[in-house]
Each structure stands twice: as C-alpha cells, then as structure tokens.
Amino acid sequence: MSGPASYAVPVTNSSVNPENASQAGSAADPQAGSQGGAQGAKPEDRLAKAVRAAEQALIEFEIAVETYRVEVENFSRLHHQKLGPMYARLDELDALIAEAVAASSGDREDIKRAWEARALVMPMPGVEELFGGLLGADGVRPVEDPNPPRRVRPGKEAQRLYRELARAAHPDLAQDEGEKQRRSEFIARVNEAYAYADEAQLRELAEEWAAGPPLEEELPTEAEVLYARLEWLAERKETLAVIAADLEGSAIGQMMKLAPDDPDGLLNEIAESLLNQVAHREARLEELVRSSKG
C-alpha cells in the first residue's frame, strides 16, 4: 500500500514527548529526597518526605505518559479513518494504470507489473467465509468506532481538567486498598472522558470528586514500609519509561515527530499531498485510456 514515507515536513521541538516525561519522572528515584530535611529530623520523617516527593514525581510522569498515549492512539485512529481511503484509491489507480500500460504495449514485463499491482488491491479469497465473518475481506478484524476522536490533541481546557483530576484522585496517593480501588475506577472514567476530549464530562467528574469523601493522608510510620514504598515507586517509574519508549518508537510515534506541535495539521498536510497524488494518477489514467482509443 502506498504510504507517507516520502512525505516530509519540517521537524520541530516536541511539546509532548516521553523523553521530557522521563526527565520529569526522574525525581521518583528512591534516593531523591532522602538527603533533604533538617539535620535533626528522624529517619522516618526524612523517608516520609521522600515518599511524598516520589509520589508526586511519579504522578506527573504518569500524566505525561498517558497524555502522550492518548495522542498516539487518536493519531492512529484518525490516520486510518481519514487517510486510509486515499491510500486505497492510490493503490487502485496504480493497478488501473499498470493494466492500461500492459494492454497497450503487450510487453511481458508490463503484464507482470500489472498482475502484481492488481494483486495488492485484490481481497483475500474466502477469508470472510473461512473465519465466519470475524475477519474482513482484507484479512483484518473489522473495528467498530461509533465515536471517533474529533482531533489528535484534546483542547487546553480538557487538558487542564484532566491534569487537575489526575493529580487529585490518583490511586498512588492511597495506601488503603479500598480507597485505591475507588480511585482507580474513577481515574479510568477520567481517562475515557479525556480520550474523547469531553470537557462537559470532565467537569461533571470534577464535581463528583469534590463532593466525595475528604482525602485522608495516610503516611506510613515504619522505616521498612517507607523503603518498600519508595522501591515500588521506582519500579513503577521504570515500567512507565518502557511504555513511553514503546510509544515513541512506534510507527505512529515516529510519524508524530514530524510535527509534534501540530499533529492535526500534519494529518491535513498528508491528506492534501495524497489528494494531489490521486489527481495526478487519475490524469495519467485518463491520458492512457484516451490514447488507447485514439
């Protein structure tokens, strides 16, 4: 299938980048914060301070990774929905042009190229029947998306609401398992609303959280528990760093690097380029058909 590999736009500095996020998350190091505090403070007090600092650093890191994940996922879905038909049309035009050239020349190599071009756009025979409709004719499982995102990057107000909710209700702030579960379920709803840039839903969730039970800060008192907490925070940061690296290294992540400040604009530019390619191929096909009749 034709792709945007040859299409290029100027590269700019990324405003949402997992590398930046990993720098923000570096404060989750268990050693960070343990050196601070007054000289006369108890070891448990210094450890408690380090735990709080590591928790906040981890939350900021997780927010950065999640916002980047949403953008990568939205870009991928919009790329498929907006540009997929154009790529398919280009492949079909390439096949028609190759067939017209072969019909005119009768050359063996031209005929071979025409068969190869047509094979790229022909559906796989019998796939739908073989898998009972679970796969489409192109061999890919069909995906229903009744509510696609309107754009790659949610608006500034949605971003503000999301960050405030994530910082206030993050599960990692809870020590009690029941409270952690309640926060996890709430944050899942927040993430879903943010993925669809639903500002109204985010505001309702903010009101719901404000009306809920007051937050109770439960600081551990034993050094062993605090050390275990710091170790878990460090491990969680490493896990998030791997997720961020995978997102950045993906095909969509690499494509988004071409225009990190305006990914929606990048999709529009690619679409315009593809439309120009379609027009050029259609003109070429029309010329070949006219020549064959002349």
Residue 6: inside a domain:
no
Our count of domains for the chain comes to 1
Residue 12: inside a domain:
no
| Selection from 59, 5, 63, 53 nearest residue 27 by Cα | 53
| CA angle, residues 85, 284, 125, in degrees to nearest 5 | 45
Residue 151: inside a domain:
yes
Give the mean pLDDT of the chain. 77
Residue 10: inside a domain:
no
Question: Residue 222 above 70 pLDDT?
Answer: no
Using only C-alpha atoms, the chain has a radius of gyration, in whole angstroms, of 27
Separation of alpha carbons 289 and 107, rounded Å: 17
Q: How many other CB atoms sit within 10 Å of the CB of residue 42?
A: 11
In contact, 36 and 45? CB cutoff 8 Å: no
Separation of alpha carbons 237 and 247, rounded Å: 15
Residue 3: inside a domain:
no
Question: Residue 60 above 90 pLDDT?
Answer: yes
Domain hosting 205: range is 18-293
Residue 91: inside a domain:
yes
pLDDT bin (cut points 50, 70, 90) of residue 21 is: very low
Residue 96: inside a domain:
yes
In Å, what is the CA distance from 91 to each residue of 87, 97, 100? 6, 10, 14
Give pTM, 2 decimals: 0.57
Residue 9: inside a domain:
no
Read off the tokens for 183. Answer: 């926060």
